[in-house]
Structure 1
Amino acid sequence: MAIGVLSLLGFQLVDSAFIARLGTAPLAAQSFTFPLSFLIIGVQVGMGIAIAAQISRSLGAGDTARARRLGSLVLVVGAAVIGVLALLLWVLQAPIFLRLGADASTLELIRDYWAPQLLAAWLGAAIYFGYSLFRAHGNTRLPGSMMVMTSLVNLLLDPLLIFGVGSWEGLGLPGAAWATVVAFATGLVVLGWQVGRTNWLARHGLVEELRASARSFAGIAGPAMISQLMPPLAAMLAIAVVASQGEAQVAAWGLASRLETLSLMVVLAMTMSLPPWLGRCYGAGDWDQVHRLMRLALRVIIVWQLALGLLMALAAPWVALALSGNPEVRDDLALLIRFLLPSYAALGVCMIVVSAGNALGWPLRAMLMSGARLFIFYLPCLALGAWLGGFLGLAAGAAIGNLMAGFAAWCVLRRILASPRRRARVA
């Protein structure tokens, strides 16, 4: 899963790099679509979390028939929900993008790009639901391999469809979206063939299962979706604080944000692979194993992220030099690396605890914890640090916010798992 996450992040960066060669206007047009793409991703990830939790709990309880019905429902209902959302975003594109600040010429570029991009988003969601099915059954190897495969197909097609080949001039900005469409369509065909070889789906009793499971599914999916939509909102508020420091500081913050995603690769992989294990233990009532899994996960995250963060902090000047040629941006980026990268050990703890909450029967607490991390610890500390100490204070405040969030998440986890019903038995 870590390799798969890295490949997905890589092809998103490659897309932007190729589009940047077309000029500022196409890159700006693509940037206007990011908030709506995050909306689709937030909905699909929230549903995927609920899928993995419900199916893995059924498997843990030994109810394989219900797990099959849930698997079939998820693929059908999930694809239908994302399809309706994509259709609405297509119909309402003009008023939405105009309100976001796009002018007439940018809107024209967006219109050519938005249709294939929405199709790519729908195909990507369908694949993601299939990945969730495999993860719920304990198979993370296939989703990771499929992520790598689709990323490679996209990488090969991007320059051909954007810039053309020979006398064909290519499609320009829409070519990036069509490359993703072909990559995801190829992945969906391979995934469908793999699903067909399993015995994880059912054809009968789906309507009755939908009625019986709708409330519990929504109880997990709703908070999970809100949790997924909060980080983009927090990122917009954070960049507003950073913008008060200057243009070079905004550039350094943007590069640091890309480093954050890559440095949290292992954490992101664990947030996808750990919940199915926990869900099975939850369904079987095996809280001893839950305690062991959480202890192991937290140790791995703290050791890995702390070692990586300290190494990056020591190498900050050289990392900043490799990423930026502007001396002012380079110095600010090195400052951010020194403060933020080691604090991601605490951030990783919070992310793992939030992810575990959806599998262990407390999705609302997980949502509140995610909100507290962003809007009680991180953003206030960042803003207060900027007010007191400029950019240095901003970097220190962001790091302190991460540390406070990680400690709070650890305290909440200990309290929840220490309840009589969830306390590990002493041998």
Structure 2
Amino acid sequence: MSVTATTETGLGRQLWRQTWPMAIGVLSLLGMQLVDSAFIARLGTRPLAAQSFTFPLSFLIIGFQVGMGIAIAALISRALGAGEKQRARRLGSLVLWVGGLVIAVLTIVLWIVHEPIFTRLGAGPRSLALIRSYWAPQLLAAWLGALLYFGYSLFRAHGNTRLPGKLMVATSVINLALDPLLIFGVGPWHGLGLPGAAWATALAFASGLMVLSWRLQGTGWLARRGLITEARQSLRDFMGIAGPAMISQLMPPLAQMLAISIVASLGEASVAAWGLASRLETLSLMVVLALTMSLPPWLGRCYGGGDWQRIESLMRLAVRVVIVWQLGLGLLMTLGAPWVALVLSGSPEVRGDLAILIRFLLPSYALLGVCMIVVSAGNALGWPLKAMLMSGARLFICYLPCLWLGTQLGGIHGLAMGAAGGNVLAGILAWRVYRMTRNRDRATAGKTT
């Protein structure tokens, strides 16, 4: 066996150890969201469509928290790679305080302006009434989930992926137990209906946050002094990563708003099917999402230490894993599309549209996954602006134009084919950009050594 093969085998084992806890955690967390939608689907098409209208704004909150998490994980991992442990502690404290405040302000704003936004997205009066009862507890759940995510980012930056993975599983189990009780009730109590799903999530996240806070005590990862000075000194570095990363993460919610307005032209059943397909998308991308959490801190430490050879090996390995996994899963889900749709929805019309979306979209996530890996790597390797531009190109040059054109030409079938085509184009474009940037950086590093 060659030295390169031996090295990649060792990296593969390390990457597996770092990624599998996050993969299981992401699977359980995304499964929790899918279970929410499956339970809500039993309430009828209108509650499911009402929940689907909230997805873009929920993704908006997630975009802010993920952008901040990417930045802080990158800065902490670089600081640790450079031996700056005290700075890493100060950065850890800052993300918990500032991140929680930013997300709290955002949720308040989204509550104030929710009615005109949902109206613009195509929600009718009856859907708006359902959304109004659901949106307040859902915003609370989003804030608690953001705090939990910032804690996960802190653990990941220190190389601990097991605790976040375990807590994701635990919160998902709690949510699964509470969902039927709060949505449908028990005995003479009839339950809360649609808002019950949001309250179940909020209680699950609150439980996880209590455990996370307890485990943070005694780690020595947080600091109480020098935070204001550190905030001033690190603001430029933080915004240099967080700014483009947030814009990259905020583009998908904006694209989802535009996408759901396109889908709304096909009817309420198509909106409901699109919402379920969105949940399936995130669930099927669990390995990719786990890699985007476990890989960047490792890449950041390599970047801080100037180890470009290991960076290149890690990227090749990650892309191979993504393509093999997503193609295999996509083909399997394509064959089982009618049965998956039957499990997730009680409406025949929604089931038919969902089966069509599954057949076309799931295999295309192999190339979408490549794009996501490249974007997450760019934030860790000092290419945040390029990563942001790649995200923008994926959504507004590849995805949305294909989605709109497909819908105009072929209804639900055209919608599915257009979305799949946009994913394929995005993956090809992202990999070409990565190779060009890699070659440029390799040449620059060779000149400086």
Query: Contact 1:416/1:422 (CA < 8 Å) preserved in 2?
Result: no
Q: Secondary structure at the match of 1:200?
A: coil
Summarize the Cα distance change of 1:301–1:424 in structure 2 as closer, same or farther, 3 Å threshold.
farther
Which letter does structure 2 place at the counterpart of 1:235? Answer: Q
Classify 1:19/1:56 alpha carbon distance in 2 versus 1 (closer, same or farther; 3 Å): same
**Which deviates more from structure 2 when the two are superposed, residues 80-89 or residues 371-380?**
80-89
Distance 1:21 1:392 in 2: 25
Q: How does 1:264-283 map to 2 (within 5 A)?
A: 264-283=285-304
1:181 corresponds to which residue?
A: 202
Partner of 1:366: 387
Tell me how large the CA RMSD over aligned residues is: 3.1
The offset of 1:26, in angstroms, is: 5.3
Aligned match of 2:96: 75
Residue 34 of structure 1 and its aligned partner are, at CA, apart by 3.5
Residues 1:138 and 2:138 aligned together: no
Paired with 1:101 and 1:399, the residues of 2 have a C-alpha distance of 24
Deviation at 1:307, TM superposition (A): 2.2
* Structure 1 residue 220 displacement after superposition: 1.4
SS, match of residue 418 in structure 1: helix
Q: Give me the TM-score of the superposition, normalised by structure 2.
A: 0.83
**Following TM superposition, by how much is the alpha carbon of 1:28 offset from its aligned partner in structure 2, in angstroms?**
5.6
1:376 equivalent in structure 2: 397
Partner of residue 371 from structure 2, selected from 350, 353, 359: 350
Q: Alignment partner for residue 64 of structure 1, among 73, 79, 85? A: 85
Cα 1:402/1:16, change in 2 over 3 Å: closer
Amino acid corresponding to residue 215 of structure 2 in structure 1: Q
Residue type of the partner of 2:421? I
What runs of 5+ residues in structure 2 fail to find an aligned partner? 1-21
Read off the aligned partner of 1:119 and give its amino acid letter: L
What is the aligned partner in structure 2 of residue 53 from structure 1?
74
Q: 1:248 to 1:3 in 2, by over 3 A?
A: same
1:163 positional shift: 3.9
| 1:88 alignment partner, one of 109, 125, 144 | 109
Q: Counterparts of 1:6-405 in structure 2 under 5 Å?
A: 6-22=27-43, 30-93=51-114, 96=117, 110=131, 112-242=133-263, 253-316=274-337, 319=340, 335-387=356-408, 392=413, 394-405=415-426
Cα distance in structure 2, aligned partners of 1:393 and 1:24: 22
Change (3 A) 1:215 1:95: same
**TM-score, scaled relative to structure 1:** 0.87
TM-superposed deviation, 1:168: 4.3
Residue deviations 1:177-233 (CA, integer Å, cap 9, x gap): 332222112111110111113111111111110001111111211222222222233
CA distance in 2 between counterparts of 1:104 and 1:371 reads 33
Give the secondary-structure state (helix, strand or coil) at the position aligned to 1:346.
helix
Would you say the 8 A contact 1:45–1:228 is kept in 2? yes
Equivalent-residue separation in structure 2 for 1:360 and 1:87 (angstroms):
34
Note closer, same or farther for the CA distance 1:100–1:253 as it changes in structure 2 (3 Å cut): closer
Amino acid at match of 1:413: Y
Q: After superposing the two structures, state which structure 1 stretch, 1-10 or 304-313, moved more.
A: 304-313
Shift of 1:98: 5.8
Query: Are positions 1:412 and 2:425 aligned together?
Result: no
By relative contact order (CA 8 Å, sep 6+), the higher-ranking structure is 2
Note closer, same or farther for the CA distance 1:405–1:6 as it changes in structure 2 (3 Å cut).
same
Once residues 343 and 66 of structure 1 are traced to their aligned partners in structure 2, the CA distance between those partners, rounded to angstroms, is 42
Q: Answer with 404-413 or 416-425: which moved more.
A: 416-425
Report the CA distance shift for 1:306/1:168 in structure 2 as closer, same or farther (over 3 A).
Answer: closer
Matched to 2:436, the amino acid is: R
Aligned 8 A contact 2:37 2:276 in 1: no
Structure 1 residue identity aligned to 2:389: L
User: Which whole-Å deviations, capped at 9, do the CAs of 1:268-323 have from their partners, x for residues lacking one?
Assistant: 11111111111111111111111111011011111111222233344455555665
Q: State how far apart, in whole Å, the 1-side matches of 2:419 and 2:40 are.
A: 31
1:172 Cα deviation from its structure 2 partner: 4.3
State the alpha-carbon separation in 2 of the partners of residues 112 and 213 from structure 1. Answer: 41
Distance 2:113 2:347 in 1: 40
- Single out whichever of 110-119 and 245-254 deviates more from structure 2: 245-254
In 1: Cα distance, 2:346 partner to 2:128 partner:
33
Q: CA deviation at 1:402?
A: 2.1
Kindly provide the amino acid, as one letter, of the partner of residue 232 in structure 1: P
For residues 217 and 161 of structure 1, what CA distance do their matches in structure 2 show? 40
Number of residue-to-residue matches in the alignment:
425
Aligned to 2:3: none
Q: Which residue identity is paired with 1:408?
A: L
Which stretch of the first structure deviates more once superposed, 152-161 or 239-248?
Answer: 239-248
Structure 1 stretches of 5 or more lacking a match? none
Cα 1:340/1:111, change in 2 over 3 Å: closer
Tell me if structure 2 keeps the 8 A contact 1:417–1:423.
no
- Partner Cα separation in structure 2 for residue 134 and residue 227 of structure 1: 23
Give the SS at the match of 1:280. Answer: helix
For residues 314 and 247 of structure 2, what CA distance do their matches in structure 1 show? 26
SS in structure 2 of the partner of residue 297 of structure 1:
helix
Q: CA deviation at 1:15?
A: 2.7
Does the Cα contact within 8 Å between 2:34 and 2:280 map onto a contact in 1? no
Question: How far off is 1:133 after superposition?
Answer: 0.3
Residue 101 to residue 192, structure 1, CA distance change in 2 (3 Å): same
